[in-house]
Structure 1
Amino acid sequence: MSVSNAPLVALIQAVETDFEELVALRIAAMRESLERIGRFNPVRARERFRSGFSASHTRHVAVNGQKVGFVVVKPAQDQLLLDHLYIRPGSQGQGIGAAVLTQVFKEADEQALPLRVGALRESDANRFYQRNGFEFLAEEEWDIYYLRPSR
């Protein structure tokens, strides 16, 4: 039996007043990918996040009690939408995102629903989602969409 080096990740329900903390984390996490394609605009990023923000579908990602990211999963037409998954830049590459996906996959499987996600073109998130079982679905001007079929 092998011992897993995966971090112990807890998902903690967000509340409306967490918006500022969450949007700041989103902007920090997206900055490099958006700059790479010449689309970094913190005002637009804030407005886009505000327009779809739903505290009831948002959970903080905590490792050892420290908030290091957040995840948003929303119901959408016979599937779940992984609307956001951001890990603070200094905490990326440690298996935290994969541990979050494991929990989200379990929830999707319990509901027998596929899980859809979109990633910005040229973002490292594309490789991350493919590595974790998502299949290419569609491509648009700025985003690539993936689906993890129901199990």
Structure 2
Amino acid sequence: MRQRLRDSFSARHTSVIVADGAFAGSVALRPAEDGWWLEHFYLAPDVQGRGLGTVVLRTLLDRTDADGLPVRLNVLRGSAARRLYERHGFTVESEDPIDIYMVRPPGADRDR
């Protein structure tokens, strides 16, 4: 995971997440040829499970929905984050032995 972050980190596309005045995590949303890539979405363990991830993801998806472009991401197999992404309209596009690749068309979770 650390190597993956080192290899693809882009300060230009990364946002720091602050909750209650303290560092709570980070997320990257970078433009891609055919939409957006959501990457490196990390929340500190002490803020997980409180809805912060939902608020951050909803904010980012409102922005990408306005552009009318799909969002892609990859999540580690077995990660609890997959449920968050599925609740927001992401579906499995492909899989490999380590990652599950997901895609979400614009506005996909608006009907839920």
Same fold (TM over 0.5): yes
Percent of aligned pairs sharing the same letter? 40
Quick one: which amino acid aligns to residue 59 of structure 1? S
CA distance in 2, matches of 1:54, 1:104: 17
Structure 1 stretches of 4+ with a deviation exceeding 4 A read none
Question: 3-state DSSP class of the match of 2:2?
Answer: helix
TM-score normalized with structure 2 length? 0.89
Identify, as 1 or 2, the structure richer in helix.
1
Is structure 2 residue 67 aligned with structure 1 residue 111? yes
Please say if residues 5 and 40 of structure 2, whose CA atoms lie closer than 8 Å, have aligned partners that are also in contact: no
TM-score normalized with structure 1 length? 0.67
Q: 92, 97, 101: which is aligned to 1:141?
A: 97
CA distance in 2, matches of 1:65, 1:133: 30
Largest Rg, 1 or 2: 1
Aligned residues: 107
Cα offset, 1:87, TM superposition: 0.5
Identify, as 1 or 2, the structure richer in strand.
2
CA distance in 1, matches of 2:105, 2:73: 12
Q: 29, 37, 45: which is aligned to 1:89?
A: 45
Unpaired stretches in structure 2, ≥5 consecutive residues: 108-112
The higher-RCO structure (CA 8 Å, 6+ apart) is: 1
